Amino acid sequence: MRLMTRAIRIATMTALIGLAVRPADAQEARRRWEMERQIRLDKFDQVLPRAMRDNGIEMWIVAVKENHYDPLWKDLGRGYVTGVGYYVFSDRGGERVERVALGPSGYLLNESGAYDAGRARPPARSEAHWRQHVGRNRSGRRSFGNDAGRAEEDAG
C-alpha cells in the first residue's frame, strides 16, 4: 500500500512538471523560429543578391517535389508541397532579389514574410471556362467516388 501511494505521488509530480514545462517549450520553439526567420530574411536580402550578381545569375529556380525535399528546403522556409512546387528568385537589377513561392504553402512559409508572392492553388476560373473544359455526367444518374465508373458501365 505504501509503495502504491509513493508511485502515485511520483506519477502526479511527473505530470505536474510536464505541464509546467510545456509553455516554456512552446515559447522556446517560437523564439527559435523567429531567429531562423530573421536569418533567412538576412540571407535573402544580403547574401543572395550578391551571390547571384557575382555569378551572373538572373534567375534561380528551385524545384521541390512532395516527399523529395531539396537540401535547401529548411533554408527556403519549409513550405508544404503537394505535387511539385517552385521557389523562384529573380534579379532584375534592383535593390533586392524578387522572391516567389509557387506551390509550396503552409503556416511557416506564409508567416515568414520572405516571399513577395506565392500561390498554392491555380487561379480561380470563370464559370464559362469550367463549362468548356470539364466533362459532365449526362446520364441522369449521380455518381460519387468509386461508383463513377459503374455509371458508364450501366449506361453502355
Q: What is the pLDDT of residues 87-118, one digit of tens each?
A: 899 998 888 899 998 888 888 788 888 888 76
Does residue 44 lie in a domain region?
A: yes
Maximum separation of any 2 CA atoms in the chain, in Å: 78
The Cα–Cα gap between 58 and 76 comes to 18
The Cα–Cα gap between 62 and 76 comes to 9
Above 50 in pLDDT, residue 151? no
What total of structural domains would you count in the chain?
1
Domain residues for the domain of 66 are 30-123
Does residue 59 lie in a domain region?
A: yes
Question: Is the C-alpha dihedral spanning 34, 38, 39, 41 positive or negative?
Answer: positive
Does residue 41 lie in a domain region?
A: yes
Does residue 90 lie in a domain region?
A: yes
Does residue 100 lie in a domain region?
A: yes
* Average pLDDT across the chain, whole number: 75
Does residue 50 lie in a domain region?
A: yes
Does residue 138 lie in a domain region?
A: no
Bigger pLDDT: 125 or 23? 23
The Cα–Cα gap between 135 and 26 comes to 49
Above 60 in pLDDT, residue 136? no
